[in-house]
Each structure stands twice: as C-alpha cells, then as structure tokens.
Amino acid sequence: MADELTFHLPSNYNLVGGLSREKSEHGGVAIYFKKGLEIDHKIINLKKYSIIKELELYGYLLPKPKIILISIYRIPNISVNKSLIQLEDLFSYLHTFKSYECIVVGDLNLDVLKSNNDINKI
C-alpha cells in the first residue's frame, strides 16, 4: 500500500497518509505535506463514506487553523447519482465539525468543459 503512495512522491514533500487499493493496482488517494512543515493533525475516519473503486476518500483534521482536508477520487463510469448520495452523506458528517472550514480536493472524473446532467448534478 504505502509503496504505491510513495512511488509518486513529489520532491520536497512527505507522505502523511492515504488510501491505496490492496487488491488491485492503481488508484487511491493521498495527502502530502511540504517537508519542514510541522503541522499538528489527526486522521478522520472516513471508511464509512469511502468505497474502494467507487468514491475513495482520505482526510485529516488540522486543529490550528481549524481545517478539515479531504482528498477524493471518484472512479470514472460510476453512477453520478450513487456518488452524490455518498458525497451528501460525507458532507452531512463533516457538517458536525461546526467550527472547522473544509477543503475538498481531488478528481471527480467529470469533464467540466461539457455541459450535461452529470455536471449540473455535482
């Protein structure tokens, strides 16, 4: 698992953590911090909302400043409606962290240059 996450390690960055598929190659999500940054953080358990080969999630809570950082990967060709249900559940959970700002980064595998129902739903 960690081997795949460190294989693409950007220079001057450390792998903080991530989710990598155990039974297939490629895929997953990771969070990296720039080397030299001492950032207090803790993992947010998102296993309930992350489904391997559908919507993969990994997150950290940073107490100072109060930020939740989520890395997301949506597999291509998965129903947007199914992904939206998972995202709604995730955001409902994140809403319980009332005093925190939330940053979500990643790949939803949607072509935002094409206007269609899937883009409009997201």
List, for residues 47-102, the tens digit of each pLDDT value.
899 887 888 898 999 888 899 999 998 888 888 888 889 999 999 999 999 899 99
Domain boundaries, the chain: 2-121
The one-letter amino acid code at 24 reads: S
Q: What is the largest CA-CA distance in the chain?
A: 44
pLDDT digits (tens, 9 = 90+) for 89-116: 999 999 999 899 999 998 888 877 776 7
Look up the pTM and report it. 0.77
Alpha-carbon distance of 41 to 56, in angstroms, equals 20
For the record, the structure tokens of 59 come out as 């997150």
∠ CA 23-55-16, nearest 5°, is 75
Contact criterion met (CB below 8 Å) for 75 and 67 = no
